[in-house]
Amino acid sequence: MQKRIGGLLGRREMMLKTAGVVTLAGSSRGLVTKVLAATSNPVVLTPEETEGPYWIDEQLNHSDLATDPTDNSIQVGLPLILAITVSQYADGSITPLKSAYVDLWHCNASGIYSDEPAYNPGGGTGTVVTSGKKFLRGYQVADAHGNVRFTSIYPGWYSGRTPHIHARVRLYSGSTATENFTTQFFFDESITETVYQLSPYNLRPNRDTLNTSDGIYSAADCLTGSPVGSETSLRLAADSSHAVASYNIVLDLSATSTCAASGGPPAGGGAPPPPRN
């Protein structure tokens, strides 16, 4: 029988909870969702959150984020398999958003983003230059069930931020972008503490920001009043070799019912990838 390893859930414990929905990995028709009764809303819409300063529209149709397509180098860290479903909430029901473009980007185990000019992520890393590198960036196009899947690593931290993964969802009508939504995924503190005892994360101890002190995590969801990070936190199923996470992004595309959380993204966000033929 699979046991809990280092405080992480065993592989057989594949029911992955996110705020507002429960997702069950392994369904042949994608992720099964069940509304929780923890909120007065029948469905918790995914809160919109800032894209941050490290967004670059690389237009990389690339699911293996840990591998840099410029030189095939691989980022070191706890492997993370991330399954995302993109859904639309309308008229009291949730339906998959086929052909949604989902971009992910995040820092490596040392708090470093790719394709950035000289900057210092803190934590003793020093000044780094990653211009031209493309690690831990890429997009996938949702299938008929709204599903995309990425392989990556558990993110490290940089000064002023708790561990997180950025996500962008874009929809098209022909060649015109009709939706450009950004959010961020967060991690349970106890799991992060366990992962950060492993190499190479343990080379940078004493991170300076936890979930509760992160200004983006704790910004209020304009619809529910809850911290947005509590609604976009991932919980993991893992063994000693890798982790698995899942989240269902739920969007209301009606023009009158959406709003951005405090510190939400600006309009725009760069040119979209070319639509599929």
pLDDT digits (tens, 9 = 90+) for 146-202: 999 999 999 999 999 999 999 999 999 888 899 999 999 999 998 899 999 999 999
Res. 99: pLDDT tops 50: yes
pLDDT at res. 92 = 87
Distance CA 38, CA 132 (A): 45
Q: What is the pTM for the complete model shown?
A: 0.81
- The residue among 223 and 12 whose pLDDT is bigger is 223
CATH T-level topology, domain 15-251: Protocatechuate 3,4-Dioxygenase, subunit A (2.60.130)
Rg (CA), the chain: 18
Q: How many CB atoms are closer than 10 A to CB 143?
A: 15
For 7-54, what is each residue's pLDDT tens digit?
A: 333 332 322 333 333 332 333 223 222 222 233 345 889 999 999 999
- Name the pLDDT band for 264 (thresholds 50, 70, 90): very low
Residue 105 · residue 54 · CB < 8 Å: yes
Count Cβ neighbours within 10 Å for each residue of 42-81 and write b for 16 or more, e otherwise.
Answer: ebbbbbbbbbbebbeebbbebbebbbbbeeeeebebbbbb
Res. 134: pLDDT tops 70: yes
Task: Identify the CA nearest to 80 among candidates 238, 194, 225, 209.
Answer: 238
pLDDT at res. 31 = 27
Res. 124: pLDDT tops 60: yes
